């Protein structure tokens, strides 16, 4: 499966050091088929655990489903782990499959990596412990269910699915099978995001009152020109559960400036979930139980009327009011304009927030408390009061999981069977915030959502939008 390429999910992490200067703290960057066995008959000493290597009995075997740029980016994080062996890769695009296989074989200096076009063949292998899944969004849950039901632990790229019901079904399957689950919200494995969340959780900005969260919006436009399916692409399998759809120009190109499936509602929610899950996930991580209970949500979004393949919200402004009293504003920032073009839409609240937080970027999460605020993105963390830089994080009463690597955290949890830094329950909760925002702006009215029952209160039309969509046979939840 060719996956989302440049939705930026891999985030720079800060080395796990406990000594911080003020400057460093405020401004640092950065159905079962034939199983295949393919291990070499001549076993080197390193495979026996000598010379500091990990013995095969202690090594986690990994299969990769979705080998486009994002999948290969995630793959690189696992290739560097001595206690992990990537043994198989799968994609419906031959060129992406070749890129991934070559990267694996080059890393291990052998030719042992097996390739598959059909993920069902890969998950049928009993010698695979876990799967990295980085397919297009409409395949996320289906691929994850196949892996979980085959006894694999999973690392799944975000967002979860195109409907909330898909996430609920996957959550039930993960719990039933007792599988380890890691969600691809890699910001949680960056030190600055954890510190921001810990400051909020420990009341260092006083009682939390409001959260601002923003992310790049979707792009409009996109070619509707029907073309023959490109050589090397199994388009029927790429569509999978989606009803038969003609192949159009740039639908699943690897060129992020032209790709249209990201912003086509048949395959995704657009960046309201594909990018928006990142700042909303951090908002949820920092606020904790304050975002539980009931929440009213309303807002507006901009949908470009011009003909094109892209039909998801290009910009949006959504307001949440939680029963705890906390409010949140979620904004979609213009994302460079039309697919292959440009726009001059302003960033709603951009000037205001840039002045308040001393700087602004195209994404971020800002927590506002009675006594101060914390603003964090992938480049900086800003504090008010600035004396928060002197916080002794080692002795805070509430401490979140420390992780400097999302892949390392996943592997450790596969071994220990502990929850990952972003387990399935939190993944579904974060995804729900995206879904209810999208539904509210599409229906154009205020809605009340119960986070416990995961349904809208007294609104059948809104609840229907939470349900799974009809799927093409033989695919089903």
Q: Where residue 19 falls among pLDDT bands split at 50, 70, 90?
A: very low
Alpha helices in 54-93 (DSSP H): 69-79
Pick from 187, 210, 228: which residue ends a domain? 187
Domain that holds residue 46: 22-187
Do 86 and 235 reside in the same domain of the chain?
Answer: no
Q: Where residue 477 falls among pLDDT bands split at 50, 70, 90?
A: confident
Q: What is the arithmetic mean of pLDDT over 97-108?
A: 97
Do 198 and 325 reside in the same domain of the chain?
Answer: yes
Q: Considering the domain boundaries, does residue 476 fall inside one?
A: no
pLDDT in tens, 445-460: 999 999 999 999 999 9
Q: Apex CA 98: angle with CA 92 and CA 101, to 5°?
A: 105
Percent of the chain beyond pLDDT 70? 86
Q: What pLDDT is stored for residue 303 in this prediction?
A: 84
Strands (DSSP E) along 159-271, which ranges?
181-183, 208-216
Q: What pLDDT is stored for residue 54 in this prediction?
A: 59
Do 146 and 173 reside in the same domain of the chain?
Answer: yes
Q: What is the arithmetic mean of pLDDT over 53-59?
A: 67
Pick from 187, 222, 252: which residue ends a domain? 187
CATH code at position 287: 3.30.360.10
Q: How is residue 301 annotated by DSSP?
A: E
Q: What pLDDT is stored for residue 257 in this prediction?
A: 87
Do 216 and 240 reside in the same domain of the chain?
Answer: yes
Who contacts 258 (Cβ-Cβ below 8 Å, separation ≥6)? 222, 223, 250, 339, 340
CATH code at position 97: 3.40.50.720
Q: Considering the domain boundaries, does residue 409 fall inside one?
A: no
Q: What is the arithmetic mean of pLDDT over 208-226?
A: 95
Which of 127-136, 146-155, 216-225, 408-417 bottoms out in mean pLDDT, i.e. has the lowest? 216-225
Do 132 and 210 reside in the same domain of the chain?
Answer: no
Do 140 and 269 reside in the same domain of the chain?
Answer: no
Q: How far apart are CA 437 and CA 300, in angstroms?
A: 9
Who contacts 47 (Cβ-Cβ below 8 Å, separation ≥6)? 53, 55, 56
- Number of domains composing the chain: 2
Q: What is the arithmetic mean of pLDDT over 60-86?
A: 96
For 77, counting Cβ atoms within 10 Å of its Cβ (0-12 exposed, 13-18 middle, 19+ buried), the class is: buried
Q: What is the arithmetic mean of pLDDT over 111-117?
A: 97
Do 42 and 151 reside in the same domain of the chain?
Answer: yes
Do 298 and 310 reside in the same domain of the chain?
Answer: yes
pLDDT in tens, 310-324: 999 999 999 999 999
Q: Is the pLDDT of residue 45 over 60?
A: no
Q: What pLDDT is stored for residue 109 in this prediction?
A: 97
Q: What pLDDT is stored for residue 206 in this prediction?
A: 98
Q: What pLDDT is stored for residue 24 in this prediction?
A: 36
The residues pairing with 37 across neighbouring beta strands, listed in sequence order, are none
Q: Is the pLDDT of residue 13 over 60?
A: no
Q: Judge whether 190 and 9 are in contact, CB under 8 Å.
A: no
pLDDT in tens, 168-214: 999 999 999 999 999 999 999 999 999 999 999 999 999 999 999 99
The residues pairing with 374 across neighbouring beta strands, listed in sequence order, are 367, 383
Q: How far apart are CA 447 and CA 443, in angstroms?
A: 9
Q: Is the pLDDT of residue 75 over 80?
A: yes
Q: Considering the domain boundaries, does residue 310 fall inside one?
A: yes
Percent of the chain beyond pLDDT 90? 81
Give the number of other Cβ atoms within 10 Å of residue 271's Cβ. Answer: 27
Do 252 and 155 reside in the same domain of the chain?
Answer: no
- Kindly report whether the global pTM for this prediction surpasses the value 0.85: yes
Q: How is residue 389 annotated by DSSP?
A: G
pLDDT in tens, 234-282: 999 999 999 999 999 999 998 888 999 999 999 999 999 999 999 999 9
């Amino acid at each position: 499966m060719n996956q989302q390429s440049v939705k930026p999910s891999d985030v720079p992490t800060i080395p796990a050091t406990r000594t911080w200067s003020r400057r460093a703290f405020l401004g640092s960057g950065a159905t079962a088929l034939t199983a295949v066995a393919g291990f070499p008959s001549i076993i080197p000493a390193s495979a026996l655990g000598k010379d500091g290597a990990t013995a095969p009995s202690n090594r986690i075997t990994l299969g990769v489903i979705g080998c486009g740029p994002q999948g290969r980016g995630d793959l690189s994080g696992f290739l560097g782990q001595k206690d992990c062996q990537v043994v198989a890769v799968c994609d419906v695009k031959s060129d992406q499959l070749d890129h991934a296989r070559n990267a694996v074989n080059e890393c291990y200096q052998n030719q042992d990596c097996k390739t598959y076009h059909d993920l069902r063949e890969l998950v049928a292998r009993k010698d695979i412990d876990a799967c990295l899944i980085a397919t297009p969004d409409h395949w996320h849950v289906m691929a994850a269910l196949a892996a979980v039901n085959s006894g694999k632990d999973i690392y799944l790229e975000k967002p979860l699915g195109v409907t909330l019901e898909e996430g609920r079904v996957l959550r039930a399957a993960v719990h039933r099978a007792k599988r380890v689950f890691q969600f691809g919200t890699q910001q949680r494995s960056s030190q600055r995001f954890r510190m921001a969340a810990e400051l909020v959780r420990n009341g260092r900005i006083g009682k939390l009152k409001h959260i601002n969260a923003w992310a790049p919006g979707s792009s409009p436009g996109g070619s509707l020109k029907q073309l023959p399916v490109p050589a090397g692409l199994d388009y029927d399998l790429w569509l999978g559960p989606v009803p038969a759809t003609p192949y159009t120009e740039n639908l699943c190109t690897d060129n992020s400036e032209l790709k249209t499936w990201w912003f086509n509602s048949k395959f995704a929610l657009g960046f309201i979930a594909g990018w928006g899950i990142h700042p909303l996930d951090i908002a949820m991580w920092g606020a904790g139980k304050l975002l539980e209970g009931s929440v009213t949500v309303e807002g507006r979004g901009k949908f470009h009327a011009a003909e094109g393949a892209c039909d998801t919200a290009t910009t949006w402004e959504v307001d949440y009011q939680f029963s705890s009293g906390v409010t949140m504003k979620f904004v979609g920032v213009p994302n460079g304009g039309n697919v292959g073009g440009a726009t001059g839409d302003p960033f709603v609240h951009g000037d205001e927030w840039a002045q308040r937080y001393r700087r602004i970027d195209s994404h971020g999460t800002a927590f506002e408390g009675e006594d101060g605020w914390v603003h964090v993105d992938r480049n900086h963390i800003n504090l008010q009061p600035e004396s928060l830089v002197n916080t002794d994080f080692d002795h805070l009463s509430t401490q979140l999981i420390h992780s400097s690597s999302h892949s390392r955290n996943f592997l450790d949890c596969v071994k220990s069977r502990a929850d990952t830094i972003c387990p399935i329950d939190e993944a579904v909760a974060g995804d729900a915030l995206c879904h209810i925002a999208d539904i509210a702006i599409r229906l154009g009215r205020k809605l009340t959502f119960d986070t416990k029952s995961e349904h809208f209160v007294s609104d059948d039309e809104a609840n229907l939008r939470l349900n799974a969509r009809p799927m093409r046979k033989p695919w089903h939840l």
